[in-house]
Chain A
Amino acid sequence: MSNSLVDKFLSNQEGSASRNFFLSALWWSLWGMSAGLLAGLEFSMPDLVHNIPQLAMPHLRMFHVNAVAIGWLSMGYVAAMFHMVPTLCKTKLWSERLGNFTMWAWNVLMIGAMCTLLNGNTEGREYAELGALLDVIVMVGLVSVAWNIYMTVVNRRVKKLYVSLWYFLGSLFWFPLVYIIGQRTFVSLPGLNDAIIGWFYGHNILGMWFTTVGVGMMYYLLPRLTGAPLYSHGLSMLGFWGIALFYAPTGTHHILQSPVPEWLKAIAVISSIFLLVPVFTVLTNFFMTMKGKWGMVVTDIPLRFAVTSCMFYLVTCTQGPFQATRWVNWYLHFTQWVVGHAHLALLGTFSFILTSAFYYSMPRLTGRQWHSQGLIRAHYWLKFLGFSLMMTSLTIAGLVQSAGWHHGIPVDQWVIELVPYWFLRSISGIMIVTGQFIFAYNTYKTLYTRAVVVAPAAKPKEVKV
């Protein structure tokens, strides 16, 4: 009996770890995005929720950030890697049991995060709000994922490493270290040093994890979905080393006007601008790979998600270095523009590529075709239009707000001017959350009401790597 229980909860079935991770990610995305929507509604209707501390705006914000970053995106990334790495290595995942164990640990972590963050039990550091015990669970999860993936690569049956693997392996080396440094559980540094390390972490959780795994997924998905070989292996290496070199020191551009050492600010600004090199290298590679295949975007919706993601990547990574320069930062810092930029990276770019990976991988993992193509289209348009509206309203709100600061107008006078934009942002939030619920419904119908049909299209396409 115990054996069957172990088989039930720590399944050894091929692809089960990836599938379970995908489903957990989807589950936490519903919570995280709904929390974000409610927090957004409270900007234009501050008395919407009264006297419930768990639903106060700051508590919702902590939970929103952690649920979306650690629940939805990180779990989804692990799921995608558990599917892509074995495919690229032409082997099985090293241990499905370890993968499923990680999945349970990660879900326990998310339940803990939900219980603590909504009550305000926080370490008070942005993006590192989780308490020390939960940090330990994150580390256990990350180390076991890294071990699983490294052992899979060690046991591979192809000699060369495809560029996606470079990105995945690099991320799994960088991210646990960045996370340990960012938590500062064992050191207490004076305020400004705390801020320097805080933004090293805050920016590199994006740069050394979300970006690198996300770009690795783009490298995997675009050639597979279009059936075209990658344009240039040399360019992909240049992009990889560019990110490895230029991304990590940029964090200080978040505190560019604070009294931290000037040499540190100089490193941050210069490497932020150099980031344009890997970004344009990577995107040149993608767009040349897409050459002659743009028409497929009309019919192939996972590809449409992936290409949209690349487009938002172009926008966000042009905006980023622009904002990191001193004079633009001087004007735009601390405004809603920055909130829009953060959503452009995490929602526009990496959530889209993760959704593409989800739609691409799920039939290949379970052998079931999607329940409804119409619902996938609805998801795409709700998410795309909703996000475009969010981006526009937050960008304009940021410009209005920075003009308010610039002219020294009291806050309570210009904040009224921003309420319409925040209302538009709430509408966009409703669209995005509706899209995500449609996504969840479609997944539920696919997995639990459809028979297994291994269609030829569902097998991985052989592509020259």
Chain B
Amino acid sequence: MYGYRLGAIGIVITFFTIIFSTVLMPMVLFQPKPAHTGNDYSTETVGNAARGRQIYVREGCFYCHTQFTRLQDRGYGPLVQAGDYNYETPHQLGTARTGPDLTNEGGRFPSQWQKAHLVQPRAVKPGSIMPSFSYLSDEDMNDLVAYIQTLGNKRLPQHYVEAPDEYRDTTEAGRALLARRHVDTNASASANAGRGIYTQNCAACHGLDGRGNGPNSITLEKKPANFTRPFYKQYDDSMWFYRTSEGVAGTRMPRWNQILTEEQRWYVVAYLKTLQKDTEETVDKLEDVEKAQQVKLPVLSHEEYEPHTGGGE
């Protein structure tokens, strides 16, 4: 006679035990600290990206794109950590992967590309099955692109490659190298000289204005560097000289010390240092995406340079 009352009590106790163990216990015990690699949308530091995130949620992007890099996802960047998600409410871990994972998408493609991808995905990725989001307003689209460009961008590398000792004044060879140098890498005359050498030797891959989009870049698996990125502002002279001289291991970048003289390389360094922009470039108008990109040459100064024929070589 008490069978079903006992049963009812049983149902209640079972259910609340489970709620306790799988809902309340994690709420109390699982308190990851912010990892400082996730984005903090609770503050307004990222500007429009906060609004872009709302558009990301509204358009249901998470139904196909995850933000959840796992051990087996090669080429998608570092593994996610618990603290990365501290500001991600509602969570955008995702549910299926019909498109690529976006955990570290920020900076992987130029903003123009991202915007063109939203307008007509198949124009920039022929195999894509993403629906066209051309119905979004221009402002919405810019904010959404701004949000996508923030994803993973706080995962800055801890250690950069540094120029080896023989390029720096810590060794005898480095001091000799710097002593031989007579090119003022900060003078615009030197940059003008370097521009000629760059155009003849480097522009085929790195592009006329240094965006890494020269005609050869299409054929290269590891894409040439885009020198307009603010990232390159931190390179000092010895790092530029090292890169120019010895190339980049694992890419098709040649060892220019076999081809160019030391002086010519210093002129190229002077030119490369002028290319960085202050911020990543975004396109503000939809029409700009649809137009063919104009090639903008850097401004030439009227200062003349005198080729130096001396030097150590």
Residues on A facing B (Cβ under 8 Å): 42-44, 46-47, 49-53, 56-59, 61-62, 120-126, 161, 166, 169-170, 173-174, 177, 181, 188-198, 200, 241, 244-245, 248-249, 251-252, 255, 257-261, 264, 267-268, 330, 334-336, 338-339, 401, 405-406, 408, 410-413, 415-416, 419
Contact = CB atoms under 8 A, between A and B. Distances in A.
Contacts of B58: 120-122, 124
A192 B92 contact: no
B283 interface: no
Given A189-B89, A334-B97, A405-B73, A419 B129 contact: yes
A32 B66 CA distance: 25
A192 B129 contact: no
A255 B85 CA distance: 14
B26 A405 contact: no
A170 B11 contact: yes
B97 A405 contact: yes
Nearest to A50: B132
23 contacts: A44-B129, A50-B132, A50-B134, A51-B135, A52-B135, A57-B63, A58-B59, A58-B60, A61-B63, A62-B60, A120-B60, A121-B58, A177-B15, A190-B86, A191-B93, A194-B89, A194-B90, A248-B15, A251-B22, A257-B71, A267-B21, A405-B73, A413-B127
A405 B72 contact: yes
Given A190-B32, A190-B86, A258-B68, 5 more contacts: A46-B129, A181-B23, A259-B79, A334-B95, A339-B96
Instruction: Tell me what chain A mostly uses at the interface: helix, strand, loop, or mixed.
Output: helix
A405 B99 CA distance: 11
Contacts of A57: 60, 63, 131
Contacts of B99: 411
Question: Quick one: which of A57, A124, A195, A335 has the most chain B CB within 10 A?
Answer: A124
A46 B134 contact: no
Interface of B: 4, 7-8, 10-12, 14-15, 18-19, 21-23, 26-27, 29-30, 32, 38, 57-64, 66, 68, 70-75, 79-82, 84-100, 121-122, 125-135
Contacts of A123: 90
The 5 closest A-B pairs by CB, nearest first: A58-B60, A191-B85, A191-B88, A412-B127, A124-B57
Contacts, number: 192
Contacts of B72: 330, 405-406
A260 B26 contact: yes
B42 to A, nearest CB: 10
B48 to A, nearest CB: 18
Contacts of A169: 8
Contacts of B129: 43-44, 46, 415, 419
Contacts of A241: 10, 14
Contacts of B7: 166
Given A51-B134, A191-B91, A330-B72, A200 B80 contact: no
B91 A194 contact: yes
Contacts of B130: 46
B96 A335 contact: yes
A336 B99 CA distance: 12
A255 B93 contact: yes
A191 B59 CA distance: 19
Contacts of A50: 132, 134
Contact of A249 (B8, B12, B18): B18
Contacts of A42: 131
Contacts of B79: 259
Contact of B32 (A47, A121, A192, A335): A192
A188 B88 CA distance: 10
Contacts of A334: 66, 94-97
A189 B27 contact: yes
A126 B29 CA distance: 25
Contacts of A406: 72
A46 to B, nearest CB: 5
Contacts of B93: 191, 195, 255, 258
B70 A257 contact: yes
Contacts of A49: 131
A297 to B, nearest CB: 33
B23 A408 contact: no
Contact of A173 (B12, B22, B133): B12
Contact of B121 (A46, A193, A259, A330): A46
Nearest to B1: A159
Nearest to A257: B70
A122 B57 contact: yes
Contact of B95 (A126, A196, A258, A261): A126
Given A56-B133, A189-B27, A259-B81, A181 B75 contact: no
